[in-house]
Structure 1
Amino acid sequence: MIEQDSFISHRNLLFTVAYEMLGSATDAEDVLQEAWLRWVDVDQSQVHNPRAYLIRMVTRQVLNWKRTLLRRREEYVGEWLPEPLLTNPDAAEVLELSESISIAMLVVLETLGPTERAVFVLREVFNMPYDELSEIIGKPAATVRQIARRAREHVAARRQRELVSRSEQQVVVERFLAALRTGQLQQLMAVLAPDVTLIADGGGLVAAARAPVHGVGLVANLLVRPNRAIAASALWLNGELGGIIQSEGAIAAVSFVVENEQIVRIYAIANPQKLTKLDKPVELAR
């Protein structure tokens, strides 16, 4: 019972760790299931720090899981985007996880190798000491420090240049969604940056652009078409205000990067297999 209680009490934390390393809630749940099966066979008397032990166990499972995922990604149809999570509006303030779990950040983390991503997440998000990282990764602490430095520089060069306030994000997103609902092309173009990019993920299961679409004209005309009815509403996704869009029987969860009161990047996840976590908020922890 003690073993089970330790795992259950840390489950939200372990899910958050796995999700940030994988970008997929479904795969994170599978990793936790494997970790649970291993944990029930552990001699509890030998575990002095269950939290650290469980994080180490989950991280190793993630790194093993990554080999299968890399092969799966090679066969993926079109652009691959993270699986969105429905989160509580106060998640960003209470957990201070808004940037690290945002779709934009998860997209950046996808450009890291598995080991680099694990080190970055555990060090930068969960503030894990280097000696513990060394044990998890199986490399000397000096090497882990170098990996962490390279990962930080890599992420810094690709992350959003300037974070906007919650109120600015809300105003811009609501203007975008209103323009979609009313089909007002000019209003939509006004809220989009001239060099806006739209990245869609249909996974080959639904219609979606298979390559990024660049430029305000192309993006606006792709989104707003004559005689096309669109339902669009705001939704808290991954700690930020995003939206859910329905049109012609298709559904997409949409996340935005906002700069200078305009949308510079749109992530549209339409793969139905990635929209299964939008029925209730997911509890995250750090």
Structure 2
Amino acid sequence: MFALALLGGIAQAQVPQRINYQGYLGNASGQPINAPVQMVFKLYDVASGGTALWTETQASVAVTNGIFNVALGAVTPITLAFDQPYWLGVTVGTDAEMTPRQPLASNPYAMRAKQADGLAPSAPVAGSQVTGTIAGSQISGSLTNATLGGNTLAQVQGQFVAGLQPTSVAANVITTVDSTGLVGNYASLTIDMEGRPVIAYFDATKSDLKVAKCGNANCSAGNTVSIVDSTGNVGKYPSLVIGVDGLPVIAYYDATNVSGKQGASTLRASRPLISGHG
């Protein structure tokens, strides 16, 4: 009778190339063995049959009350890649190999990490090998010959310790468009045909719907702020688009009448709001 359990390797400064293995060995009548025995260990890539990929003979394994402990790889180094399932076959003395073979648990597969130890500092890592999110605190130093598409560079600025500096991308521009009262709630923004922002928003102080037409792309000069609707409590939750004629169209909430409104006709009649459009 033979019962066994697979244990993990002992942690070391380098990845250990041995596998700790413990088992129980009894005789034909079920009594525990108390004598050294010869044991042969083999690793296969199949659960039965096949050819052993690694073999080790330990000539004298101490067995006390049926319990033995060995370090696989102590005699014959284990050089397998551990990138696929393996099964362990055990033979005691002149007996046949015990069945069934034992599948290796996950701990020995940490030996595959040794391959990472051998990578040169300049070794490339394919993009397909990196998934998920890498926090900025995990990256330090400079990024050399890196290619980032679209707006990625602007989005990741500040996420790296030293690789990207504020001068590497255009600085953000923050402009106050309207500061009269409690304004700016539920803002909806779009860009007109000339590349200038148009913003619809709720004036909570006066309960009015307002629209701001920026004079340039940064809203830094030439802005026009207009009250589009001031009848009752109106202007919450605006949704703003630019029509095919270049004029703004807004849908918004009328809290006084508890209904939906569309401010297209009012906006189109308010030419000061859209001054500067072609």
> Shorter-chain TM-score category?
under 0.3
Between Structure 1 and Structure 2, which shows a larger proportion of strand residues?
A: 2
Of structures 1 and 2, the one with the larger relative CO (CA 8 A, separation 6+) is 1
Between Structure 1 and Structure 2, which shows a larger proportion of helix residues?
A: 1
> Considering only CA atoms, is the larger Rg found in Structure 1 or Structure 2?
2
